[in-house]
Amino acid sequence: MTFQTMVGMLAQGFLTTLAIFFLTLVGSLLLGLLVSFGRMSHFTIVRTIIKVYISIMRGTPLMLQLMVVYFGPSLLLGITPPGNWRFAAVIVAFIINYAAYFGEIYRSGIEAIPAGQREAAQVLGYTRVQTFIKIILPQMIKRVLPPVTNEVITLVKDTSLASVIGTVEMFTRAKQIAVAPNSPGMMTFVVAAVFYYVFNYLVAFVMERIEKALDYYD
């Protein structure tokens, strides 16, 4: 197997990695918002449910969650999963896991806004929704960007966990290539590391640009 063939096959696997990454990112960044609202809800029941959810998501390994989401419906509940459930299960498990973390990050950002701003908005006649969208949210986004960047970079690397339920993303592909007949062996892992690093470098770069762009008061 030539070096080019190996890189090409890794690149193919990287497409799956990217699919997991982007779908999870979109899903969990949005779901995280709902989680943070639920966590701060005035209704004790909602708040408690979300607290338990966050506690479970943070308190158990993502690898285990992947297995429960993938095998649970058929083996625990007796439901026959649809044909493409393997990949869907990966996305579902990643989204509900990351949403828990994003929810807490958002909460920290929202609660960091002084209560005086809320009161001032109320005096000026803003509704609660208006206050949130026009006053709280823009400031919250600025504040949570550094911890969100942390999570996003972790997500890129966590995609390799999908292999536990037989999803062939780049790391699994690298392991397969490394053992194939006439393969470049260990070099495969070095190239895989370069793929991850370069992509994470880009993620960090983009996030830094966003931070700068939002830094309009300084």
Partner 1 sequence: MVLALVLSVTACGGSSTDTTSADGSEAQTELGKLVVGFDAEYPPFGFIAEDGSYDGFDLAMAQEVCKRLGWEYEAVAIDWNSKDTELSSGNINCIWNGFTCTGREDEYTWSEPYVDNRIVAVVRADSGITSLDQLAGKTVMAQAASSAVDALNDNAKLKDSLGSVVELADYNMGFMELQQGTVDAVAADLGVATFQTMNKEGDYVILEEPISMEQYAVGFKKGDTELRDAVNDVLLEMAKDGTMMEIAQNYVDDGLVLESLCLIEK
Q: Which residues bind partner 1 (CB under 8 A)?
A: 1, 5, 8-9, 12, 67, 71, 74-75, 80-81, 85-86, 163-166, 168, 172-173, 175-181, 186
Question: Minimum distance from CB of 94 to partner 1 (Å)?
Answer: 17
Residue partners of 103: CB distance under 8 A and separation at least 6? 31, 32, 33, 34, 35, 36, 38, 39, 50, 54
Q: How far is the CB of 155 from partner 1 (least distance, A)?
A: 21
Distance CA 106, CA 34 (A): 10
Half-sphere exposure of 78 toward its Cβ, with a 13 Å CA cutoff? 0
Distance CA 203, CA 101 (A): 18
Find, among 147, 52, 153, the residue nearest to 100 by Cα: 52
Least distance to partner 1, CB of residue 216, Å: 47
Our CB check for partner 1 shows the closer of 44 and 80 to be 80
| Shortest Å distance, C-beta 166 to partner 1 | 4
Cβ at position 1, least distance to partner 1 in Å:
5
Question: Which C-beta is closer to partner 1: that of 28 or that of 65?
Answer: 65
SS3 content of the chain, % helix, strand, coil (to 5): 80, 0, 20
- Provide the H-helix boundaries in 43-167: 44-59, 62-75, 85-111, 115-123, 128-130, 137-158
Residue 105 or residue 162: which is nearer to partner 1 going by CB? 162
Indicate the residue among 44 and 182 with the shorter CB distance to partner 1: 182
Instruction: Using the minimum distance from each CB to partner 1, give the nearer residue, 138 or 166.
Output: 166
